[in-house]
Structure 1
């Protein structure tokens, strides 16, 4: 039996990140998954049940047709995995279900700069390999709501706003989290803006653990 298949979706109708090709290459290089990559919304006209998880990798804007929205929602509710990376939070603003699914929506970010992430849940597969304080360079997304209070999420990692300039959420600033939606599992990380991030062994392990958890490969 081969590795589980994941559908990596990178359609953008707004800002397109230069790091998307590096992200796709990274997920393929992990060796944990068999990756089907597409920008075509027509991929969601086909059954998704063959996939362990669907990954929105820095998608932006409205990226699904009405039928695609219905199929993705049905897939997750029935037990499918969903993972969102970075600009996945800048996606499907016109679909209320998606905001609940992901847990929060992007609001703004300060300039790209070094900062520090604080691991809140070291027992999760996405974070158990990370130091308690992890120095990283990213855009340090702010969100329109705090997912800890807006939706039932398990917060895995928070931003230390004292470590960079321009943070707008205060002392409780979730950066990565997971949750359940129906019978499905959802993982999101705000990190992943730069090309260099996808060569970082710790970030690669963060993605591997989060997607594997969403796909049901990790308890």
Structure 2
């Protein structure tokens, strides 16, 4: 593997680009949100399989937003000759790409507030361990170290169709869900599930869009916090039934990840509403915005409770009561009884505060329980 050189930083492209035109002409749509604190991101478009045309559009859209909002963009999208049924290989973006891989060490990646994977398909669907993949073992270890140190990761569209042979990457991007297939492009209805998350606040509650709609190998709900679902009654070819997540987020092994499964069609990347949502998703992974429960899940809080150190007898009582309330609230939430879940969870915050075995751990736990309350309150407004 080559050693990364100082990357080429991109902060602007021609103002006449399709994204700039789209942003200027759509006066009725919300302007892309400013990004205070966002300084530099890495956009990964490298492909070893089918190459999506939107990769170039997405890259330029994120560069344009960086020029507008003051953050810098590095691009990793080298040309290669990995041809197959999809064609003769990937043209990449030679005028934008870094000279060598940025995935050298976690310390090198630490410069980035977020790493954005833009449909980097690598043809590992067969699960053949000998098939070349997007990130080799050294590169994957660098990404793991980056995430464990609190790094942010964004997956766009076909980010679930890469690194199929890495269960860790699959969990990072999709909560275990991988791309399984898709019907023809068509109009379908997306529904916002958590309108309080920063990336959803200006998205229509019911959003009819033309796109390519992915089916997944499993439903990631429970492993991730679902932000949007697809209504399979509004299009043909869905295979996931009444609960078809399409956008989600999670706190993952010390870092944050956010995924949007739409965005195949190039027009997405000149749509100010779509761009605003993606930019806010990036900002959330970078930790520069928060809200809506910050992508907490019941599983995340259960794990914190299970990891509490040995407690005094008084603490043990509080832990037992907390576990009971979490289990009850989870059942209520899964039944769609979000107001009831809120009522159950409110006393749980006080129980977490009462734990004295480890003040720092208890304080973090209390904050996560409060996030559960905020999340369930948001879901109650849409149920």
TM-score by length of 1: 0.95
- 1:44 matched to 2:103: yes
Distance in 2, matches of 1:34 and 1:19, equals 20
- Counterpart position of 2:58: 23
Alignment match of 1:7 (pick from 39, 42, 45): 42
Aligned CA-pair RMSD: 1.4
Distance in 1, matches of 2:178 and 2:39, equals 29
Instruction: Give CA deviations for 1:162-190 in whole Å, capped at 9, x if unaligned.
Output: 11111110110000000011110000010
Alignment match of 2:218 (pick from 145, 150, 159): 145
Query: Secondary structure at the residue paired with 1:148?
Result: coil
Deviation at 1:121, TM superposition (A): 0.4
In structure 2, runs of 5+ residues without a counterpart are 1-35, 79-99, 123-132, 291-383
- Tell me which protein shows more helix as a share of its residues: 2
- Counterpart position of 1:169: 240
- Tell me which protein shows more strand as a share of its residues: 1
Which structure's CA Rg is the greater one? 2
Contact preservation (8 Å) 2:38, 2:113:
no
Kindly tell me the number of residue pairs found equivalent between the two proteins. 217
Deviation at 1:38, TM superposition (A): 1.3
Distance in 2, matches of 1:42 and 1:188, equals 23
Alignment match of 1:34 (pick from 69, 72, 83): 72
Distance in 2, matches of 1:63 and 1:148, equals 26
Deviation at 1:28, TM superposition (A): 1.3
Deviation at 1:3, TM superposition (A): 4.2
- Counterpart position of 2:138: 67
Query: Secondary structure at the residue paired with 2:155?
Result: strand
Instruction: Give CA deviations for 1:100-149 in whole Å, capped at 9, x if unaligned.
Output: 11122111111011111000000111111011100111111111010004
TM-score by length of 2: 0.55
Highest relative contact order (Cα 8 Å, sep 6+), 1 or 2?
1
The within-5 A match list for 1:74-113 is 74-102=145-173, 103=175, 104-113=177-186
Deviation at 1:19, TM superposition (A): 1.0
Task: Sort the Cα spacing of 1:148 and 1:3 in 2 relative to 1 into closer, same or farther, 3 A.
Answer: closer
Structure 1 residue runs of 4 or more that deviate by more than 6 Å after TM superposition: none
Distance in 2, matches of 1:44 and 1:160, equals 38
